[in-house]
Structure 1
Amino acid sequence: MRKKLYVFLLAILCTVVSKSQTLSLSGRVVDENGAPIPFASVVIKGKSKTGTTSDPDGKFSIAVARGNVLVVSAVNYAPTEIAVGTGSTLEIRLSAAKADLSEVVVTAMGIKRNERALGYSVSKVDPGNMLQKSEPNILNTLAGKVPGVDIRAGQGQPGAASRIQIRGVSTFSGADPLIVVDGVPYSNPLIKTSNSLTAGGAYGSGLNNIDPNDIESISVLKGAAAASLYGSRAANGVLLITTKSGAPKRGSKSLNVTYRAGYSIEKVADIPEFQNLYGAGANFRTQSSNGSWGGKFGRGVIYDAAGNVVRPSSSGIDSIPATTWATMYNSYPELFPNGLIAYKAVPDNVSSLFKTGNLMEHSIGLNGGEGRSLFNVTLSQVNQKGYIMNSSYKKSNVSVGGQTAVGKLTIGANASYARSKQVGGFIGAAQNFLSQWGRTYTMARNWDITGWPSVNKVGAQIGFNDGQYTNPIWGAYHNVITTFDDRIVGNVRASYKFNNWIRVDFNAGVNNYALFRDQVIDKSSYGSGTTAPENPLGTITEVIDKQQEIQGKIIAVISPKIAKDWSLDINLGSDVNERNSRHQQVYGIDFVIPGLYNLNNTRRQTYSNDGDLRTKRRLVGFFGDASIGYKNYAFLNVTGRGDLTSTLPYKNAKYFYPGISGSLVWSEALNLKSKWFDYGKVRAGYARVGNDAEPHKGEAIFDLNAAGFLNQPFATRGGDYYDTTLTPEFTRELELGADLRFFNQRVGLEVTWYDKKSTDLIYGISLPRTAGYSNFYTNLGEIRNTGWEIALDVSPVVTSKFRWDIRGIYTQNKNTVLALKEGLTRSLLVTGGYNYIEAGKPYGYLRGSHSARSEDGQLLISATSGMPYLDPNDDMVGDPNADYKMGITNTVSYKGFTLNVLFDMTKGGDFYSETINSMLGRGVTKDTENRERNAVITGIYGDPTPVIGSDGLNHYVPLMVNGKTVPNQTRVTTNDLFFTAGTGASFATNGAFEYAVWDGTVYRLREISLGYSLPSKWVSALKLTNITLSVNGRNLWYLAPNVPKYTHFDPDINSVIGSGSQGVESGGAPSTKRFGVNLNVTF
Structure 2
Amino acid sequence: MKKFTALIVLFLFCGVQLIFAQQKITGTVTNSENGSAIPGVTIRAEGTTIGTVTDLEGKYELSVPDGTQKLIFSYVGMISKTITIDKTVINVSLTPDTKNLDEFVITALGISREKKALGYSVQGVSSEELTKANESNVINSLTGKVSGIQITNATGAVGSSSRIVIRGASSFENNQPLFVVDGVPISNATTEVSQWGSTDFGNAAMDIDPANIASISVLKGPNAAALYGSRGSNGVVLITTKKGMEGKKKNAIGVSITSSISVQDPYVFVKYQDQYGQGVLGSEFYYNRYARKTGMPYSEFAVGGYHPGIGFTYFDGAGGGVNDGVDESWGPRLDIGLKIPQYNSPLTDPTDPTTREATPWVSHPSNIEDFFENGITFDNNVAIYKRTDVSNVRLSVSRQDVSGTVPNTDLTKNTVNFSGGMSLTDKLHTSATVTYIQNKSDNLPGQGYGPNNVMQSLGGWFGRQVNMEDMKNHYDEMNIFGNPYSWNTNYHNNPYWTVYKNTTSRGRHRMFGNFQMSYDILPWLSLTGRMGTDFYHEYRKHVDYNQSIDYPNGHFWQNERQEVEINGDLFFTINKKFNNFSLYGITGLNNRSNNYQYSYLEAPELTVPNKFFISNVKGNPAAGMRETHKKVIGTYAQASLGWKGMLYLDLTARNEWSSSLPAENRSYFYPSATLSYILTETIDVNPAFLSYAKIRGGWAQVGSDTDPHRLQGVYEGLDPFRGVTLFRTTRTLPPIGLMPEITSSFEVGADLRFIHNRIALDFTWYRQITKNQIMSINISDAAGYDYALINAGQVTNKGIEVTLTGKVIENKNGFNYTALVNWSKNDNTVDELYGDLKSYELSSSWGGVTVEARPGEPMGVIRANGFVRDQDNKVVVGPDGKPIVAETPIVVGNTTADWMGSINNLFAYKNITFSALIGCKMGGDIFSVSDWFGAYAGVTAETAQDGIRENGVLYNGVKGVFDDNGNLIMDENGVAITNGEPNDIVTSAQSFYSGYWGREEYSIIDGSYIKLREVTLGYVFDKEMLRNINWLQSVSLSLVCRNAAILWRHPSNDLGIDPETGFGATMRGVGLEQYQIPTARTFGFKLNATF
Task: Please classify the TM superposition score into its range, dividing by the shorter chain length.
Answer: 0.7 to 0.9
Q: Deviations over 1:782-824 (max 9, x none)?
A: 1111111100000011112222110000011111111111132
Equivalent in the alignment of 2:547: 524
> What is the CA–CA distance in structure 2 between the aligned matches of 1:935 and 1:704, rounded to whole Å?
54
Q: Does 1:243 align with 2:241?
A: yes
Question: Following superposition of structure 1 onto structure 2, how do residues 613-762 of structure 1 map, counting pairs within 5 Å?
Answer: 613-704=626-717, 715-762=727-774
Contact 1:249/1:371 (8 A) holds in 2: no
Q: Which amino acid aligns with 2:374?
A: T
> What is the CA–CA distance in structure 1 between the aligned matches of 2:961 and 2:199, rounded to whole Å?
43
Q: Which amino acid aligns with 2:837?
A: L
> What is the CA–CA distance in structure 1 between the aligned matches of 2:350 and 2:129, rounded to whole Å?
55
What secondary structure is seen at the aligned counterpart in 2 of 1:438? Answer: helix
Contact 1:213/1:363 (8 A) holds in 2: yes
Q: Does 1:556 align with 2:572?
A: yes
Q: Does 1:367 align with 2:366?
A: no
Q: Which amino acid aligns with 1:912?
A: F
Question: Following superposition of structure 1 onto structure 2, how do residues 154-165 of structure 1 map, counting pairs within 5 Å?
Answer: 154-165=154-165
Contact 1:360/1:384 (8 A) holds in 2: yes
Q: Does 1:913 align with 2:936?
A: no
Q: Deviations over 1:301-325 (max 9, x none)?
A: 3327833689999999634442x54
Q: 1:98 to 1:481 in 2, by over 3 A?
A: farther
Give the C-alpha shift of residue 771 in structure 1: 4.2
Residue identity (%): 26
Q: Does 1:861 align with 2:873?
A: no
What secondary structure is seen at the aligned counterpart in 1 of 2:205? Answer: helix
Q: 1:728 to 1:601 in 2, by over 3 A?
A: same
Give the C-alpha shift of residue 770 in structure 1: 5.2
Q: Which amino acid aligns with 1:424?
A: N
Q: 1:220 to 1:1070 in 2, by over 3 A?
A: same
Equivalent in the alignment of 2:112: 112
Q: Which moved more, 1:100-109 or 1:549-558?
A: 100-109
Q: Does 1:497 align with 2:520?
A: yes
Q: Which amino acid aligns with 1:192?
A: E
Give the C-alpha shift of residue 300 in structure 1: 6.2
Equivalent in the alignment of 1:122: 122
Q: How many residues align?
A: 981
Q: Deviations over 1:193-246 (max 9, x none)?
A: 5xx112266331111211111112211111211101100111111011122231
What secondary structure is seen at the aligned counterpart in 2 of 1:366? Answer: strand
Equivalent in the alignment of 1:1009: 1016
Q: Does 1:512 align with 2:535?
A: yes
Contact 1:403/1:413 (8 A) holds in 2: yes
Q: Which amino acid aligns with 1:282?
A: V
Contact 1:1030/1:1077 (8 A) holds in 2: yes
Equivalent in the alignment of 2:434: 415
Equivalent in the alignment of 1:990: 997
> What is the CA–CA distance in structure 2 between the aligned matches of 1:245 and 1:446, rounded to whole Å?
58
What secondary structure is seen at the aligned counterpart in 1 of 2:634? Answer: strand
Q: Does 1:447 align with 2:466?
A: yes
Equivalent in the alignment of 1:11: none
Give the C-alpha shift of residue 431 in structure 1: 4.5
> What is the CA–CA distance in structure 1 between the aligned matches of 2:772 and 2:101, rounded to whole Å?
38
> What is the CA–CA distance in structure 1 between the aligned matches of 2:217 and 2:419, rounded to whole Å?
20
Q: Does 1:940 align with 2:958?
A: yes
Contact 1:285/1:302 (8 A) holds in 2: no
> What is the CA–CA distance in structure 1 between the aligned matches of 2:740 and 2:972, rounded to whole Å?
36
Q: Does 1:1000 align with 2:1018?
A: no
Equivalent in the alignment of 1:899: 914
Q: Which amino acid aligns with 2:938?
A: G
Q: Does 1:825 align with 2:838?
A: yes
Contact 1:428/1:521 (8 A) holds in 2: no
Q: 1:566 to 1:36 in 2, by over 3 A?
A: closer
> What is the CA–CA distance in structure 2 between the aligned matches of 1:612 and 1:736, rounded to whole Å?
49
Question: Following superposition of structure 1 onto structure 2, how do residues 277-316 of structure 1 map, counting pairs within 5 Å?
Answer: 277-285=275-283, 301-303=302-304, 306-307=308-309
Q: 1:779 to 1:277 in 2, by over 3 A?
A: same
Equivalent in the alignment of 1:808: 821
What secondary structure is seen at the aligned counterpart in 1 of 2:712? Answer: coil
> What is the CA–CA distance in structure 1 between the aligned matches of 2:1080 and 2:533, rounded to whole Å?
36
Equivalent in the alignment of 1:779: 791
Q: Does 1:1054 align with 2:1062?
A: yes
Contact 2:774/2:792 (8 A) holds in 1: yes
Equivalent in the alignment of 1:390: 408
Segments of 5+ residues of structure 1 without an aligned counterpart are: 1-26, 42-53, 61-72, 80-93, 289-293, 527-533
Equivalent in the alignment of 1:263: 261
Q: Which amino acid aligns with 1:809?
A: N
> What is the CA–CA distance in structure 2 between the aligned matches of 1:95 and 1:910, rounded to whole Å?
52
> What is the CA–CA distance in structure 1 between the aligned matches of 2:58 and 2:428, rounded to whole Å?
35
Q: Which amino acid aligns with 1:1072?
A: A
Q: Which amino acid aligns with 1:719?
A: R
> What is the CA–CA distance in structure 2 between the aligned matches of 1:468 and 1:722, rounded to whole Å?
42
Q: Which moved more, 1:797-806 or 1:136-145?
A: 797-806
Q: Deviations over 1:454-504 (max 9, x none)?
A: 244388523434532222111111221101111111211111111122111
Give the C-alpha shift of residue 561 in structure 1: 4.1
Q: Which moved more, 1:708-717 or 1:131-140?
A: 708-717
Report the RMSD for the aligned CA atoms in angstroms.
Answer: 3.5
What secondary structure is seen at the aligned counterpart in 1 of 2:218? Answer: strand
> What is the CA–CA distance in structure 2 between the aligned matches of 1:711 and 1:465, rounded to whole Å?
39
What secondary structure is seen at the aligned counterpart in 1 of 2:843? Answer: coil
> What is the CA–CA distance in structure 2 between the aligned matches of 1:144 and 1:343, rounded to whole Å?
47
Q: Which amino acid aligns with 2:957?
A: G
TM-score by length of 1: 0.85
Contact 1:277/1:296 (8 A) holds in 2: no
Q: Which amino acid aligns with 1:411?
A: T
Contact 2:1016/2:1038 (8 A) holds in 1: yes
Q: 1:549 to 1:766 in 2, by over 3 A?
A: same
Q: Which amino acid aligns with 1:306?
A: P
Contact 2:285/2:951 (8 A) holds in 1: no
Among candidates 577, 580, 592, match of residue 565 of structure 1: 580
Q: Which moved more, 1:1055-1064 or 1:508-517?
A: 1055-1064
> What is the CA–CA distance in structure 2 between the aligned matches of 1:74 and 1:412, rounded to whole Å?
22
Q: 1:471 to 1:297 in 2, by over 3 A?
A: farther
Q: Which amino acid aligns with 2:918?
A: F
Give the C-alpha shift of residue 990 in structure 1: 2.1
Contact 1:1031/1:1077 (8 A) holds in 2: yes
Q: Which amino acid aligns with 1:522?
A: Y
> What is the CA–CA distance in structure 2 between the aligned matches of 1:1060 and 1:75, rounded to whole Å?
46
Among candidates 827, 833, 844, match of residue 860 of structure 2: 844
Q: Which amino acid aligns with 1:170?
A: S
Equivalent in the alignment of 1:234: 232
Q: 1:460 to 1:729 in 2, by over 3 A?
A: same
Contact 2:395/2:419 (8 A) holds in 1: yes
> What is the CA–CA distance in structure 2 between the aligned matches of 1:811 and 1:1015, rounded to whole Å?
38
What secondary structure is seen at the aligned counterpart in 1 of 2:867? Answer: coil
Contact 1:165/1:175 (8 A) holds in 2: yes
Q: Deviations over 1:132-166 (max 9, x none)?
A: 31311111110011001111113243111111101
Segments of 5+ residues of structure 2 without an aligned counterpart are: 1-27, 43-52, 60-72, 80-93, 287-291, 314-330
What secondary structure is seen at the aligned counterpart in 2 of 1:1018? Answer: coil
Contact 2:250/2:388 (8 A) holds in 1: no
Q: Which amino acid aligns with 2:822?
A: I
Q: Which amino acid aligns with 2:189?
A: P
Equivalent in the alignment of 2:938: 923
Q: Deviations over 1:279-304 (max 9, x none)?
A: 2222335999xxxxx99998963327
Give the C-alpha shift of residue 538 in structure 1: 1.8
> What is the CA–CA distance in structure 2 between the aligned matches of 1:1013 and 1:803, rounded to whole Å?
15
Q: Deviations over 1:951-999 (max 9, x none)?
A: 99xx67224xxxx44332323454444x23xxxx3xxx32511111100
Give the C-alpha shift of residue 37 in structure 1: 4.7
> What is the CA–CA distance in structure 2 between the aligned matches of 1:332 and 1:1033, rounded to whole Å?
51
Contact 2:677/2:694 (8 A) holds in 1: yes
Q: Which amino acid aligns with 1:990?
A: W
Q: Which amino acid aligns with 2:762?
A: E
Contact 1:200/1:1056 (8 A) holds in 2: no
